[in-house]
Amino acid sequence: MSTQHAAGRYAPSPSGDLHVGNLRTAVLAWLFARTTGRRFLIRMENLDRAVDGADRRQLDDLAALGLDWEEPVVYQTDRRAIYAGIIDELRSAGRTFECFCTRREILEAPSAPHAPQGAYPGTCRDLTDAQRAEKIAAGRPPAVRIRAETSEFTVTDLLHGSYTGMVDDFVIQRNDGTPAYNLAVVVDDAAQGVDQVVRGDDLLSSAPRQAYLATLLGETPPTYAHVPMVLNPEHVRLSKRDGAVTLADLAARGVSSERVLAHIARSLGLAAPGEVADLPTLAERFDPAALPRTPWILHPGEWD
């Protein structure tokens, strides 16, 4: 772990503009970090699809709500060599294996005995050198999977308590050579001194895998806070299809960033209806134990 003092972070993917749900999670990550004396960091998780200029717009939107953070903003694409080095270390330690399975083959394969639902079935775990050579010769580039030595792992979550979830032989490098999210996020958090991870509760089930990998790398897993998401009236994850859900869209309708923050604060029980409060004021009122445990249902007329 880095010798820098403890930190929290917000780590968006710059694939488009942030919507109200993303912004609400960012506000919560800032509140958790700042009210516990932690640094607050921004990391752009841009190993996958990135839209030109989206990162700058995301940072501008976060600043418009009053969030501040420690520089520099880290971009994962600048850290590919570091990820490759970690993967090489795990490979040299016998902690990985090459996997030639397609998604369809994994879905159609019979589950290993006693394996949890949805776990990788172990198809390529014990291939011989000859079998691997044959698949490579056939032109099937392999992904790299961790060779897990447990089927579950327990993490501590500030909202969900002790949470035990599945660990299987998950991918740490895709078959195109791109480091997988589950590896990159663990390596980055360790390097940046992040010991508090606040993010949407749709990612709770991935925490045991990441915490397990952290221990393999000699790191202490962070404390998690998986917060409720913002859903549309159909109780589906919020998206651009739901209309005015980004700061730019809302500004075009005459809704200021101050009003957006006020709505977010009200949804968290940190402000009264119609009250406008800045982030320092919200920090004074912030009590993780009192946070809502259910999603915020955002209705189209919310801003009227």
Annotated binding residue 280: no
Annotated binding residue 241: no
Annotated binding residue 9: yes
Residues 6+ apart with CB under 8 A from 128: none
SS3 196: strand
Annotated binding residue 124: yes
Annotated binding residue 83: no
> Which secondary structure element, helix H or strand E, spans residue 212, and what is its range?
helix 207-216
Annotated binding residue 84: no
In one letter, which amino acid is 146?
Answer: I
Point out which residues pair with 98 in neighbouring strands. Answer: 144
Tell me the C-alpha distance between 58 and 23, whole Å.
9
First to last CA, the chain: 47
Annotated binding residue 199: yes
Annotated binding residue 12: yes
Q: Determine contact, residues 99/180, Cβ cutoff 8 Å.
A: no
Annotated binding residue 10: yes
Residues 6+ apart with CB under 8 A from 301: none
Burial class (CB in 10 A: 0-12, 13-18, 19+), 265: buried
SS3 237: strand
Annotated binding residue 13: yes
Annotated binding residue 101: yes
- Residues in the annotated binding site for Zn(2+): 99, 101, 120, 124
- Residues in the annotated binding site for ATP: 240
- Residues in the annotated binding site: 9-13, 45, 99, 101, 120, 124, 181, 199, 240
- Residues in the annotated binding site for L-glutamate: 9-13, 45, 181, 199
